[in-house]
Amino acid sequence: MRVLMVEDEVRLAETVRRGLTDAGFVVELVHNGEDAVWAATEHSYDVIVLDIMLPKLNGYKVLEQLRERGVWTPVLMLTAKDGEYDQTDAFDLGADDYLTKPFSFLVLVARLRALIRRGGPERPVVLVAGDLTLDPARRRVERGGQEIVLTPREYGLLEFLMRHRGDTVSKMEILESVWDPAFDGDPNVVEVYIRYLRLKLDAPFGRHAIETVRGMGYRLDSEGG
């Protein structure tokens, strides 16, 4: 069981390496983000233990570059950053697990073994509607090969529409899936964000991908408009 451990605290890294070795793992250590990207790209590992606060490239950037390069080795983020937004960012970029310092070594070993049993995740399928594409792995949207920059909420709305392309979805379904099942604000916020998407996805390209179905909701044309 080959492990790449990316940790800039040399003493901690060596302590964990010895423990993992005693537990039957083969461990390679690197201490900065650039070396991590090179090692994970050039060599094969069963799992990667990745700190967030690293020199040269932080853990988020390392993870993002690995997923962009098609490296789908399971990644466990091991870090002192324990905020819910830190964890959300890590999972959005493709992390498979998250463990905060200080941590139980037994828990670390158990989680690594669980990740190895599951194996590397398959690359998420790119969603396509004509020349409009959404890549969930890279969180990248393009129209005719041109990248379109969206806010997180715009991206979430577009992903929902593209996963249901060709189908009419109601405003309530959108609110429950993209906002929150307990959302109690103004439901017209959906109309606002539909307009934002049209301004970015359709208007500059002379397209009409997002249709309003009177009295029912919205539909994204499966051919991209």
User: What is the 3-state composition of the chain as percent helix, strand, coil, each rounded to the nearest 5?
Assistant: 40, 20, 35
34 DSSP 8-state letter: H
> pLDDT tens for residues 77-132?
887 766 555 667 777 777 888 888 788 888 989 989 888 887 765 556 788 888 99
* Contact partners, residue 139, CB within 8 Å, separation at least 6: 92, 155
The per-residue pLDDT of the chain, averaged, comes to 85
For residues 53-66, average pLDDT: 88
Q: Is 109 exposed, middle or buried (0-12, 13-18, 19+ CB in 10 A)?
A: middle
Distances in Å between the Cα of 40 and the Cα atoms of 34, 86, 98, 129, 194 are: 10, 22, 19, 33, 40
Which has the higher per-residue pLDDT, 202 or 103? 202
Residues above pLDDT 70, as percent of the chain: 91
For residue 5, what pLDDT band results from cuts at 50, 70 and 90? Answer: very high
| The residue type at 28 | E
Residues above pLDDT 90, as percent of the chain: 26
pLDDT of residue 87: 67
For residue 48, what pLDDT band results from cuts at 50, 70 and 90? Answer: very high
Q: Is the pTM of this model over 0.75?
A: no
What is the side-by-side order of every strand in the sheet holding 168-169?
Answer: 168-169, 217-220, 210-213
pLDDT of residue 181: 58
Q: Are strands 217-220 and 210-213 parallel, antiparallel or unpaired?
A: antiparallel
pLDDT of residue 121: 56
